[in-house]
Amino acid sequence: MRRLLMVLFFFILIQWSYGQELSLDSCQSMARRNHPLLRQAGIIDQISDLRQQNIETLNLPQFDLSARASWQSDVTKLVLKVPGFKGPDPLSKDQYKAYVDIKQRIYGGGITKKSKELEEADRQVSRQQNETELYKIKETVNVLYFNGLIIQENLKIINLKKETLDEQVKVVESAVNNGVSLPNNLDQLRGEKLMADQQEIELKSTFHTTCGLLEIIIGLPITEQTVFFKPSVLNIILNGELSRPEIVLFSLQQLKLDKSEQLLKSSRIPFIFAFGQSGYGRPGFNMLDNNFADYYMVGAGLSWNIWDWNKNRRDRSTIKLQKDMITINLDNFNRSVKMALKQEENNATKIKRLITTDEQLVSIKDQITKRSASALKNGVINSADYIRDLNGALQARVNLETHKVQLAQTSVNYLTIKGN
């Protein structure tokens, strides 16, 4: 069964490599799934879970084990001059002590809850930062995909040029054999065919490089047989809401600072705790007993940092300034996005007008080329004139197809910049 699955996998991979139709949406999806940053999301959650567990320990009893041995130059003495009463034995100058301190927080002003909320906010920020970096790959995929699409369209036109030249070579070759045309005309057509071959080699090399880069991003092989599907021209919605992940990130950063401020406020509230100590040593709590003894003590306490030299106030002022910086960064980001959207909007308007004239030029140039082909066949013009007209017609078609792809790219770029 396992061997069958492996054979099936390789069969599908081969079919993918040699007969696939690649779409922009599929490239975007595969680029996201193949990106190393996607694996960080699970790691971020694991780190956050461990930190949350550490925060939970604030509500658990704290144990400290201590031990000490000492020798001191003098000890407490009880001087009594009572007839018939010797008094207690003097204490030893070497003393020993081993004890366990236990401390349990009873009330901490909600500092544990606030710490957990801050950690959760930090987790959300980290995940959104990761999401922001993942979103940037969309722009790279757009550039590579549309570059590949333009090259693919140019290769089609180069092939059309080669086919047209092959037809004219046959016509002119027959005319030369019949003494109607000069051999120079045939050589010029063959030379132009070789130049078209060179153009094809350059385009295929560039296409191979583009596909190689796209392969790394999406994690699947792309060959010369791969067909890049041309996206439809998407509607550009003006004055719509932005939905970029950066905007969510700014909001989460503000929320994290709010949680930090709440934690700082909680840290100024006194907290109540229970404590206990149990130990063994010489002397014990009875300082007049020079023997080893065990001892214990339990109680409750209150801790309150009543004066921190305005450190807490300065920390909160720092947080306020950080919030102001985030607001400024958000405004600057929105400004940059609006400028980019305006540029793409203007590009779309320009390209639409160019396409209108391109279509007219293609029609005119095609008619000129047809008349030139007929004139070349009848010996009215030479092959240089025909090649000039043919190149003009093909260049007009290249411009038209390039502008069509660029219009689709502009609409995709617009929506990508907007966050849709």
Helix (H), strand (E) counts: the chain? 8, 6
Q: What is the DSSP string of 235-303?
A: P--TTPPP--HHHHHHHHHHHHHHHHHHHHHHHTS-EEEEEEEEEEEES-S-TT--S-EEEEEEEEEEE
Domains of the chain (ranges; CATH) run: 21-61+124-269+313-418 (1.20.1600.10)
- Which of the four pLDDT bands, split at 50, 70 and 90, describes residue 298? very high
Residue 168 neighbours by CB under 8 Å, 6+ apart: 189, 373, 376, 383, 386
- CA dist 169 → 160, 165, 172, 176, 185 (Å): 14, 6, 5, 10, 9
- Give how far the C-alpha of residue 252 lies from the chain's centroid of Cα atoms, to the nearest Å: 16
Q: Give the least confident one: 10-14, 44-48, 170-174, 224-228.
A: 10-14
Q: Give Cα separations from 357 to 27, 345, 353, 400, 404 (angstroms).
A: 32, 19, 7, 9, 12
Torsion angle of the four alpha carbons 359, 360, 363, 366, in this order, in degrees rounded to the nearest 10: -90
Model confidence over 69-86: pLDDT tens digits? 999 888 877 666 666 666
Tell me how far apart the alpha carbons of residues 330 and 121 are, in angstroms, rounded to a whole number.
Answer: 19
Over residues 215-274, the pLDDT tens digits come to 999 999 988 888 999 888 877 666 678 889 999 999 999 999 999 999 999 988 998 999
In which band, very low, low, confident or very high, does the pLDDT at 87 lie, cut at 50, 70 and 90? low
What Rg value do the Cα atoms of the chain yield, rounded?
41
Confidence of residue 93 (pLDDT cuts 50, 70, 90): confident
Task: Give how far Cα 103 sits from Cα of 111, 275, 354, Å.
Answer: 16, 4, 79
**pLDDT (tens digit per residue) in 99-146:** 999 999 999 888 999 999 999 999 999 999 999 999 999 999 999 999
What pLDDT shows up at residue 16?
42
User: Average pLDDT over the chain, rounded to whole?
Assistant: 89
Tokens 């041309």 sit at which residue?
230
pLDDT at 92: 85
